[in-house]
Amino acid sequence: MSSVIASTRFSILDRSRIREGFGGPQALRDTVRLAQEVEGLGYHRIWVAEHHGVPGVAGSAPTVLAAAIAAATHTIRVGTGGVMLPNHQPLVVAEQFGVLESLFPGRIDMGLGRSVGFTNGVRRALGRDRDDADDFAGQLAELLGWFEGTSPTRVHARPAEGLRVPPYVLATGEGAAIAA
């Protein structure tokens, strides 16, 4: 049984929770420190999430936080769990992950979700509507196309084009069918 545990790769998800008496900046620094600690324990990956306007959660920019974590660690994989694709233009997401993969080759995982915010106020602030998640499959195809260089626009996503960043679709319900 111990060989099973020894060969199991463990990952952790951190939302950068704000502890009582501390603010968001400290929560983000704590996430980076946690990544360093779990790397030392042999964890395989740390995921960071995108949450907007959630009380007690500082994790709102997962690609930025992933960059900070990757810069402060050496071997652990760093993933977004995830970038909510309906909140972002696929070209921008491809470029962000292209930069991350270029700076930290072989250590970046692109976790993508289809949520558009948990309240009407957050959706308004993001300039999104509930219906924006309806075309998640199309947004995902466009995003992956930027890495493959298949955009019909003649625009090239640099430095993403040609890079291989493992995509992970984080979803339930309808999104689970897309992930499959």
Structurally, how many domains does the chain consist of? Answer: 1
Alpha-carbon distances, residue 160 vs 31, 137, 147, 148, 167 (angstroms): 26, 20, 5, 9, 13
Query: Domain of 57: which CATH number?
Result: 3.20.20.30
DSSP 74: S
Are 12 and 46 within 8 A, CB to CB? yes
Please give the average per-residue pLDDT across 110-126, as a whole number: 84
pLDDT tens-place string over residues 34-77: 999 999 999 999 999 999 889 999 999 999 999 999 999 999 99
Q: How far apart are CA 178 and CA 180, in angstroms?
A: 5
Backbone angles phi, psi at 74, to 5 degrees: -130, -35
- How far is 85 from 135, CA to CA, in rounded Å? 10
Nearest to residue 83, comparing CAs of 101, 65, 56, 102?
65
Token pair in block for residue 7: 């060969």
Say which residue the tokens 């992956």 belong to: 144
Structure confidence by residue, pLDDT tens digits, 5-36: 568 899 999 999 999 999 999 999 999 999 99
DSSP notation for 35-63: HHHHHHTT-SEEEE---SS-TTB----HH
Beta strands 77-80 and 45-48, pairing class: parallel
Domain extent at residue 49: 2-179
- Helical axes 62-72 vs 90-103, angle rounded to 10°: 0
pLDDT of residue 5: 57
